[in-house]
Amino acid sequence: MKKAEFSKIEGLSAGYFLVIAVLGLFALAGLGAAYYMEHNGHFVTGMNNQIVWGMPHVFAVFLIVAASGALNVASISSVFNKKAHKPLARFSGLLAIALLAGGLMVLVLDLGRPDRLVIAMTYYNFKSIFAWNIILYNGFFVIVGLYLWTMLDRTKTQYSRTAGFFAFAWRLILTTGTGSIFGFLVARQAYDAAIMAPMFIVMSFSFGMAIFLLLVMGIYNGTNRTLGEHIFQRLKNLLGIFVIGVLYFVAVYHLTNLYATEHHGVERFILLDGGIYTKLFWIGQILLGSLVPLALFFHPTWGKNRSLVGIGALLVILGGLAQMYVIIIGGQAYPLVMFPGKEVSSSFFDGVVASYSPSMPEVLLGLGGAAVALIIVMLAIRILQFMPASLADEYVTSHTE
């Protein structure tokens, strides 16, 4: 096996500048949307007293969860010593940091008062899962940053495996913390479930790997570098396994809720009578976001067509956004059952399904965060040697090593 050599991308083509320009426009639109919402107040959005986490939170949580999953390849190469994935470990760490930065940008700018973040960072209430996550996010930047240093600096490569173990453990803790935000929240019928934490971990594997595969395919195609069939098939099959894992946890989550009588109402709402939430669940998440990609990945002919696999990875990403929308927005829309078996009504919409329509500023802020993450990636691979010059089969070890 030949040793993979790393190099920067030239970044001088019209295509590269076009990508940066388009992403820059989305990032500026996101900042403009944040200013518009902060200046006028959140009443200009679709959010209200019932739906306090809107479309920006869908994007933010998706990007944060995907950041953990983007570290899959680096973890596989260092923790599980799979040398076939080692050439892409640097890019895996870079993408993880970039996605987390983009997600946190959306989260901070949607606070209404971003300056209040200083209080959250300096005064900790350790009974709050949100306070825990401040520590987890900062720790992720530090640990993955050190992990990247051990891979980029040839004099520190002996520490790479140790740093990889720490990064692997921290990413699991981080995603557990993010899932626990919903798992610990008892004020919503769709939340308050211990399975939320492991489900979010598996969701991170799927979302992060889909973004990783799509970007690797796009970068190697755009720079005329060779992406060998061996590593391509490994990444594609791994993504398919993660999609199956998400389906399993989603099924267990809903079956567990159906077993408990107190959750029958919210389950009927999500699975049958929820309108847009039911459609997003069955059509967006299950059909287009899971079953169609699995067919594209594992079909004997379609699975070898890179364009179809790319479409499948894109569908996994869109299905993930649909899943986040159902969990975050749908979970808030269904009213809390305060008196089981009784009808509840008041002047404050108790017992009523809340309405929510995403506004354009909310969507632009979310897309702006995703654009910032991609800008970080595009600039980093132009400045530093994150990408192997070639991933032809002779540069990738056998799967038995």
> Does residue 400 form part of some domain?
no
Task: State pTM to two decimals.
Answer: 0.92
pLDDT at 175: 92
Under the phi-then-psi rule, with left for phi > 0, alpha for psi from -120 to 50, and beta for the rest, what region is 322? Answer: alpha
Q: Which of 17-21, 47-51, 217-221 has the lowest mean pLDDT?
A: 47-51
> Does residue 401 form part of some domain?
no
> Does residue 18 form part of some domain?
yes
Domain range for 121 is: 6-395
Mean pLDDT of 241-250: 96
> Does residue 32 form part of some domain?
yes
> Does residue 365 form part of some domain?
yes
Residue 190: give its domain's CATH number: 1.20.1630.10
Indicate whether 399 pLDDT > 60.
no
Question: pLDDT tens-digit profile of 291-302?
Answer: 999 999 999 999
Indicate whether 183 pLDDT > 90.
no
pLDDT at 400: 44
The fraction of the chain above a pLDDT of 90, given in percent, is 54
Q: Which of 40-44, 243-247, 340-344, 358-362 has the lowest mean pLDDT?
A: 340-344
Indicate whether 261 pLDDT > 60.
yes
Total tally of structural domains belonging to the chain: 1
pLDDT at 348: 67
Question: pLDDT tens-digit profile of 95-109?
Answer: 999 999 999 999 888
> Does residue 43 form part of some domain?
yes
Burial of 343 (0-12, 13-18, 19+ CB in 10 A): exposed
Question: Of residues 212 and 11, which shows the higher confidence score?
Answer: 212
Indicate whether 11 pLDDT > 90.
no
> Does residue 238 form part of some domain?
yes
pLDDT at 128: 76
Question: pLDDT tens-digit profile of 197-215?
Answer: 999 999 999 999 999 999 9
